[in-house]
A = this chain, B = another copy of it.
Amino acid sequence: MIYAGVDVGGMSIKIGLVNSDGKILKTKAFATEQEKGYKSMFARTADYIKQLLEESGFSLIDLAGIGIGIPGTVDSKKGMIISAVNIGCKNVALAEEMSQYFNVPIAVGNDANMAALGEQRFGAGKGHENVVMITLGTGIGGGIIIDGKLYEGNGGAGGEVGHQIIEIDGEQCNCGRRGCWERYASATGLINQTKYAMAENANSLMHKIANENGGVDGRTAFLAMDAGDYSGKAVVDRYLHYLAEGLLNLGYVLHPEMFIIGGGISHEGKNVMEPLQQKLNEDFERSGMLPYIQVVQASLGNSAGIIGAAALVM
C-alpha cells in the first residue's frame, strides 16, 4: 500500500509517495501559482500524483489514500479549507474537489498539525501517544496529539500555541493580541532581541559574526555565546527563558509526555534542548507536577509535512 502526502505552501507544492512505515519513496515539487486559482492548483496536484505513481512503477490501484497539509485554518472533519491567505483559499471543499480525480480516501489538515502528526507517528515522537510539537520559525506553530490523534479544537481553531500571551499588554502581535509567546520566543523574537543587545553593546562579538554571515539571524547570538561572548550568552539565556515559560504554560494545561521542537532554532540542538529540559524539570519537580515532560528535537526536518499528511489518511 502506498499513500500520497501533499504539503501545500505559498511558493511551492511538494508531493511524496509514502509507504505504511512512513518512508518517503519519491517526491516531486512544483510552483503553487495561486494566481491561477484553486481549481488549477489542485488539478495540477492530481496530475503530479498520477505522474509520480507512474514514475515509481505504481498504478492507481496501489494508492490507498491522499493526505493534504494546508497553511491555514482547516476543518478536517469536513475536508474543508476555512481560510488560507497564503494560497488564496477561503471555504474550499478540498476533499470533494480532489475526489473528482481519485477514488480513494482524501484527508485535509493544517500544515503545522501535519508536521506534528508526522513526528509523532514516524519521527522524534514515535511510540508516544500524547505529544505537543512546537515549530520555532517566523512565528511559533503548534500541533497537539492526544491519545495518538490530532487535537484541532472546535472548527480547527485550536493548537495556536504561539498566540498564548506570556506578557499581558506586552508587544503588539500581528494577530491583534499584545504579548503573544511568538513575539518573544520565535526566530523573529530572537533576532529582535539580538539586534537590541547589539545596539546596547558595541563591543559584542555578535557584530563581527553578523557581518561575516551577511546579517543578524537566529544563529548570531548562539555563535557568539559558543565563542565566549557575554552579551551573546545573555541574549540566549533570556530567549530560553521566554521559550521555557511558554512551554511550561502548555505543560500545566496539557501535560503531554513530550515536547517536540522543530523549525530553524531547533537546529541549535543541545544548546536549546538541554537548558529547556533542565528548566522544565526544575519547575515540575518544585510544583510536584510530575512526571517530567521530555523535550526532544524534531527528526524529520522538511519531510515532516509530507509524512504527516500521508499519516493523516493512513
Contacts and interface: CB of A to CB of B under 8 A. Distances in A.
Interface in A145-166: 146, 151, 153-155, 157-161, 163-166
A312 to B, nearest CB: 18
A125 to B, nearest CB: 13
Contacts of A245: 165, 168
Contacts of A167: 166-168
A78 interface: no
A158 B283 contact: no
Interface in A211-245: 241-242, 245
Contacts of A105: none
Given A166-B166, A167-B168, A130 B154 contact: yes
Contacts of A184: 168
A24 interface: no
A167 B164 CA distance: 11
Contact of A253 (B176, B254, B284, B286): B254
Given A130-B154, A154-B130, A158-B255, A287 B250 contact: no
Interface string A246-264: 0011101111110000000
Given A165-B166, A167-B167, A157 B248 contact: no
A253 B146 contact: no
A17 interface: no
Q: For the complex formed by this chain, how many copies does it contain in all? A: 2
Given A168-B242, A253-B250, A291 B176 contact: no
B253 A159 contact: yes
Contacts of A175: 286-287
Contacts of A144: 253
Interface string A265-295: 0000000000000000001101111110100
A295 to B, nearest CB: 14
A252 B155 contact: no
A271 B293 CA distance: 39
Given A73-B288, A83-B288, A287-B175, A253 B164 contact: yes
A287 B286 CA distance: 36
Contacts of A28: none
A177 interface: yes
Contacts of A287: 163, 175-177
Contacts of A286: 175-176
B164 A249 contact: yes
A255 B157 contact: yes
Contact of A248 (B154, B165, B255): B165
The 7 closest A-B pairs by CB, nearest first: A153-B255, A158-B255, A164-B249, A157-B255, A160-B252, A157-B289, A176-B286
